[in-house]
Amino acid sequence: MAKTVARIDRLMRPLHRWVWRDHDRRLRKLLAFADVETDGGRDIVRAAEVTPDPLLRRLYLEHAIDELHHGDLFRSRGAALIRERGTRTTSLFAGNPLPGGHGLDDLSIEGQPDYRLLAFLHVAEKSAAGRFEIYRQLVDDDPETRAIFETILRDEVFHMNYTYTQLTRVAPKTYRRHVWYARARRLWNRYLRVAVAIANLFGTAILTIIYFVVLPPFAWLARRAERRELPGWRPIARGGSPRSQY
């Protein structure tokens, strides 16, 4: 299994170690995984509902059940860690989820040919397996969490293999191209995520500056107007124009 660990994940091992070393970060990560696996499972259920291929329908269902089960495993382990943590819950959910929980991205199922989905799933599962292998090694001090990763890794092998086998069946001449395309798309999605995060950061900074520079006089006026408003019933003025958004 160690062979499936991608170079990027090997390079990021110090970051992963930092994440998994801390109790709160660990449990936030587990809860983020729970959501990702559950969402991914639901996407694959949808794939099972729309595929015209009976064998793929059964395999997708099998896969979806696994993913939903993984979600449950992560969720119950996270809940157990919360209980161990006791009542210090104030800042637990205040931060953003830690990196590395994007699962199936925003996978669009409807109208997609099976080969595209299979290639995407194969690449995603393979990447997840590599990462989970690292995580498994990093939680040596936590046998319950380690056991979850071991269970999941066994399933991931099946998921990697059936997606690849079925891809070669449904697209025997072009399957390599689809795998590369899926890999490129994942890379593009990663770029988009980073770009959106940076844009959000800039957007937040600019809006915060506007908030403190431009808004104060308007805020004073708004508060003055508010003081004149009494709570309770108000008569409703006859409706606005049917074509107006105001």
Partner 1 sequence: MNILGISAHYHDSAAALVVDGLPVCAVQEERLSRHKNDAAFPAQAIEWCLDCAGIAPEALDAVVFYERSMLKFERILTTALRTFPRSWRSFPHAIRNTLGEKVWVRGIISSHLDVPRRKIFFTDHHAAHAAAAFFTAPTRRAAILTADGVGEWATLTAGRGERRDTDRPELTLLREVRFPHSLGLLYSTFTAYLGFTVNEDEYKVMGLAAYGRPTMIEQVGKVMRPTADGAFALDPQYFDVQTSARRSYSAKFVELFGPARNPYDPIDLESDEGRRFADCAASVQRVLEDTLVRIAAQLRRDADLPDLCLGGGVALNGVANARLLAECGFERVFVPPAPGDAGCALGAALYADRIYFGNRDRPIPDHPFWGPSIDGDALSRAATDDGLGVEIVDGGALVERVAGELAAGRIVGWMEGACEFGPRALGHRSILAAPHSSAIRDRLNRDIKRREEFRPFAPVVPIEAADRYFDLPRGGVRLARFMSGVFPVRPEWRSALAAVTHVDGSARVQVLEREMAPRLHALLDAYGRRSGIPVLLNTSFNVAGEPIVARALEGYSTFRRCGIDLLAAESVLVTKPAAAPVRAPKEEVAWSSGNVAASGAV
Residue 40, SS3 per DSSP? helix
**Measured on CA atoms in the order 56, 58, 64, 66, is the torsion positive or negative?**
negative
Complex with partner 1: residue 18 or 93, whichever CB lies closer: 93
User: Does residue 19 contact residue 28 with C-beta atoms inside 8 Å?
Assistant: no
Per-residue contact flags (x/-) with partner 1 for residues 73 to 112, judged by CB under 8 A:
--x--xx--xx---x-x---xx------------------
Site for partner 1 (CB under 8 A): which residue of 141, 212, 213, 228?
212
In angstroms, what is the minimal distance from the CB of 31 to partner 1? Answer: 7
**Total residues belonging to the chain:** 246
Site for partner 1 in 110-169 (CB under 8 A): 122-123, 126-127, 130, 157-158, 160-162, 164-166, 168
Q: How far is the CB of 238 from partner 1 (least distance, A)?
A: 9
Q: Which helix (H) or strand (E) holds 24?
A: helix 23-50
Please, which contacts does 202-206 make with residues 24 or more away whose CB atoms are closer than 8 Å? Answer: none
Of 140 and 195, the one with the shorter C-beta distance to partner 1 is: 195
**Residue ranges in 171-210 that form contacts with partner 1 under rule CB under 8 A:** 176, 179, 183, 200, 203-204, 207-208
Give the span between the Cα atoms of 51 and 111, in whole angstroms: 9
DSSP output for 126-168: HHHHHHHHHHHHHTTT-HHHHHHHHHHHHHHHHHHHHHHHHHH
Q: Which two tokens stand for residue 151?
A: 């269970």
What part of residues 10-29 is at the interface with partner 1 (CB under 8 A)? none
What the block records as the tokens of 143 is: 């046998």
Closest contact distance (angstroms) between CB of 226 and partner 1 is 5
- Write each residue from 41 to 80 as x if it is in contact with partner 1 (CB under 8 A), else as -, in one continuous string: -x--xx-xxx---xx-xxx-xx-xx--x------x--xx-
Cα–Cα distance between 25 and 98 in angstroms, integer? 8
Shortest spacing between CB 164 and partner 1, in angstroms: 5
Number of residues that bind partner 1 (CB under 8 A): 77
CB 77 within 8 A of CB 145: yes
Question: Quick one: which of 84, 91, 173, 234 contacts partner 1 (CB under 8 A)?
Answer: 234
